[in-house]
């Protein structure tokens, strides 16, 4: 299992030695977390990660459809614990309130995943 993918240090974004992406089955795209002072803590496991505190992502579907006129605001809020994602009730997607296993990156066509 390889549910975390390390983000290339050259890729723009927050400065951290440890920036990781995981695939979110609720949003069907990747989300990031990164470590550092006042950032997330991570147990160092790629296979069974635990990350604290929760990961809150707010995005709009126009991200993947720039020409789209009617974008939809999405809220995704989860805890990653021991290789599982617990989606909190304030998620606006279909997995709100559910806990599911993180999935292996290799399952997905990475060309389709924007990060």
By CB under 5 A, name the binding residues for Zn ion: 24, 26-27, 76
Instruction: Output 27 or 42, the one with its CB closest to Zn ion.
Output: 27
Tell me whether the omega of the peptide bond preceding residue 37 falls within 30 degrees of 0, making it cis.
no
Instruction: Output 9 or 54, the one with its CB closest to Zn ion.
Output: 54
Q: What distance in Å separates the CA atoms of residue 50 and residue 81, rounded to the nearest whole number? A: 4
Rounded to a whole number of angstroms, the minimum distance from the CB of residue 70 to Zn ion is 20
Evaluate whether 32 touches 15 at the Cβ level (below 8 Å): no
Rounded to a whole number of angstroms, the minimum distance from the CB of residue 28 to Zn ion is 8
Q: Which residues contact 85 (CB under 8 A, 6 or more apart)?
A: 22, 24, 25, 26, 78, 79, 99, 100, 101, 102
Instruction: Output 17 or 112, the one with its CB closest to Zn ion.
Output: 112
Instruction: Output 24 or 102, the one with its CB closest to Zn ion.
Output: 24
Q: What distance in Å separates the CA atoms of residue 81 and residue 43, rounded to the nearest whole number? A: 10
Rounded to a whole number of angstroms, the minimum distance from the CB of residue 37 to Zn ion is 25
């Amino acid at each position: 299992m390889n549910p975390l993918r390390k983000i290339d240090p050259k890729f723009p974004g927050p400065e951290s030695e440890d920036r990781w992406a995981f695939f979110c089955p609720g949003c069907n795209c990747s989300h990031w977390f990164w470590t550092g002072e006042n950032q997330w803590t991570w147990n160092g496991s790629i296979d069974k990660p635990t990350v604290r505190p929760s990961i809150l992502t707010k995005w709009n579907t126009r991200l993947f459809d720039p020409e789209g006129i009617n974008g939809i605001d999405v809220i995704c809020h989860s805890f990653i614990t021991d290789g599982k994602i617990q989606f909190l009730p304030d998620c606006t997607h279909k997995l709100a309130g559910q806990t599911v296993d993180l999935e292996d990156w290799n399952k997905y066509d990475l060309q389709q995943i924007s990060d």
